[in-house]
Amino acid sequence: MGSDWYSVHTEVRASAGVQGLTVDENAADALMDLLEQHDGVVSTGTGAWAATISVEASNAWEATSSGSDLIEKLADKAGMPNWPAVRVDVVRQDVLEAENIRPTLPELVSGPEAAEILGVSPQRLRQLADGHTSFPEPMYELRAGKLWLKDAIEAFDRRWDRKPGRPRKAARTPG
């Protein structure tokens, strides 16, 4: 059976009530040194630290076991606090690299841009936003205006059952 590279991320945290939540920065630097040949990176906070390395394994289960064992062993050698692991994330390296190039910020559009996508006037857009039951909620409402997820506006455009002509005004009660 062939093997692949996997990225293994382990996060540890001090248990509740533990005294001394500071991670020795020299120990963390020593762990960086020890993990260098394993493509490692270390992060430290108060009462918590984490490390990521790459390991070669035949599957994700094996990578989880060998990677977290290696991190634990080298962390102990470096003098890192022996706190319990609270998270282990494992992902095949090529999958991680594909994820890494995908932007994490969603694409947002303003009112005029949303109107352009839908092919309506800004005024009609405001009517839709205020009155159409399935119009998406804005992600943000700023002083300068609302921002929507572009995907949500495009999805609305696909499902919107447009009625030709001008929208009917609400019926007035005779006064």
Partner 1 sequence: MGTGRQGDDHPDEDREETDRTGREIGNDHRRVIEYLIDNEGWTYKLPEGGGYPRLYPADRSQSAIRVPKTGRTRGRAFSNWIADVRRKGGHWPPERE
Whether the CB-CB separation of 35 and 53 falls below 8 Å is answered with yes
Which CB, 93 or 127, lies closer to partner 1? 93
> Shortest approach of partner 1 to residue 18 CB, angstroms?
8
Nearest 10 degrees: CA dihedral of 79, 54, 51, 61?
-100
d(CA 2, CA 136): 47
Q: Which residues pair with 56 in a beta bridge?
A: 5
> Shortest approach of partner 1 to residue 110 CB, angstroms?
16
Which CB, 20 or 175, lies closer to partner 1? 20
| H-state helical runs in 103-167 | 111-118, 122-131, 150-159
Whether the CB-CB separation of 124 and 167 falls below 8 Å is answered with yes
Which CB, 44 or 120, lies closer to partner 1? 44
> Shortest approach of partner 1 to residue 164 CB, angstroms?
34
* Residues lying near partner 1 in the complex (CB under 8 A): 5, 7, 9, 13-14, 16, 21-23, 25-26, 28-29, 32, 36, 39-50, 52-54, 91, 93, 96-97, 99-101, 103-105, 107
